[in-house]
Amino acid sequence: MSKVSVASRPSTRQERGIALFRECGEEIEHVEGGRWRVPSCSCGGAYLVDLRAESCDCLDQPSEDEVCKHITAATIAHAKSEECSGCRKKVLRRHLCIVPKDHPTLGGLVDELCKPCAVSQGVA
Ligand SMILES: [Zn+2]
Ligand SMILES: [Zn+2]
């Protein structure tokens, strides 16, 4: 009896993008507007993705109906993110701090803050 290997290497760009988000999702950073900085797990650099233009500055230039893995990863990050009421950057929902309604200066004005904003406002 031989074991059948089912280990699947990500084959399509979409699968590679999902894998990239799984591995490096925490490092994907919102820049502004539709722009995201997506790390390259392989070379240690990062690529700039513009989701509105569906563009990426990597060397992978897929055909029209495909996007590179960085755009896929940024799309997932975008879907899982919410805008910080402070700096207006999008951060993963689980990293947002809820501002208590009775907060002396921010209560009622601001709902959610990213970690750095929460720290600077004394919320976290
Ligand atoms: Zn790319
Ligand atoms: Zn913020």
Contact between residue 49 and residue 71 where contact means Cβ atoms under 8 Å apart: yes
**Which bound ligand lies closest to the C-alpha atom of 89?**
2
- Around ion ligand 2, which residues have CB less than 5 A away? 84, 86-87, 114, 117
Q: Which domain holds residue 63?
A: 1-79
Number of domains present in the structure of the chain: 2
State the pLDDT at residue 18.
Answer: 96
Note whether 26 and 9 are same-domain residues: yes
pLDDT digits (tens, 9 = 90+) for 25-67: 999 999 999 999 999 877 679 999 999 999 999 988 788 788 9
pTM value? 0.83
Note whether 20 and 57 are same-domain residues: yes
Note whether 11 and 66 are same-domain residues: yes
Note whether 33 and 67 are same-domain residues: yes
CA of residue 23 to ligand 1 center, whole Å: 16
Note whether 73 and 103 are same-domain residues: no
Note whether 6 and 56 are same-domain residues: yes
Check whether 1 has a pLDDT greater than 80: no
pLDDT digits (tens, 9 = 90+) for 64-108: 788 999 999 999 999 999 999 999 999 999 999 999 999 888 888
Check whether 4 has a pLDDT greater than 60: no
- Around ion ligand 1, which residues have CB less than 5 A away? 56, 58, 68, 70
Note whether 40 and 75 are same-domain residues: yes
Note whether 114 and 65 are same-domain residues: no
